[in-house]
Amino acid sequence: MRIEDFVKENRSAFDDREVPAELWARMEKKMKTKESGKFKIFRKMQFNFSMAAGILIVLSIGYLLGRYAKPASQNPEYTLMDPNSANTLISYTSMIEKKRDELKFIKTAAPELYNEFLGDLIVLEENYKTLKAELPNNPNQEELIKAMIQNLQWQIELLNKQNQIGEKFKEKEKPGLI
């Protein structure tokens, strides 16, 4: 005989029986102690989950900042181009700044010569700024970058020649040293 058949046949006997009140009280007591233990576990788990979620958020933010933030050493103007061209432009630009600093001694010694030198350089710098402004919207960026590099090379050549002239001017200004 199966258990289902047994329950069906004896159902009325099960329904008529009363459960003692004492039994219910014991069951409630056991359930409360078991639940409080489970709740402690859930509270601990909830704390662990919130800590894990916090750590996950911090790691995600760190990853995103590391992936998409621009390094301080990288010039944001050159992010549109390949790294080699950007490095070339950055190194040429820093070289031009150094050469311009070398040329500043003429400013006090011969202001008219310095202004003439500056006028020649300004023309090249304006052309460079125009090329740089066209870069984001130009479909042929590679050619434009080559033109920018060529312009910077011309600026360096011009500054080199100006510095040579400045050195000769400086030698003439010195009193007869042997």
Residue 178: what pLDDT?
47
d(CA 148, CA 48): 56
> Using 50, 70 and 90 to split pLDDT, how confident is the model at 72?
very low
Residue 155: how many CB atoms within 10 A of its CB?
Answer: 23
pTM: 0.51
73 vs 130, which has greater pLDDT?
Answer: 130
Q: Give me the residue spans of the domains in the chain.
A: 11-68, 76-173
Contacts of 93 (CB under 8 A, 6+ apart): 152
For residue range 99-118, what is the model confidence (pLDDT) as tens digits? 888 877 777 777 787 788 88
Percent of the chain with pLDDT strictly greater than 90: 1
The arithmetic mean of pLDDT across residues 127-132, rounded, is 87
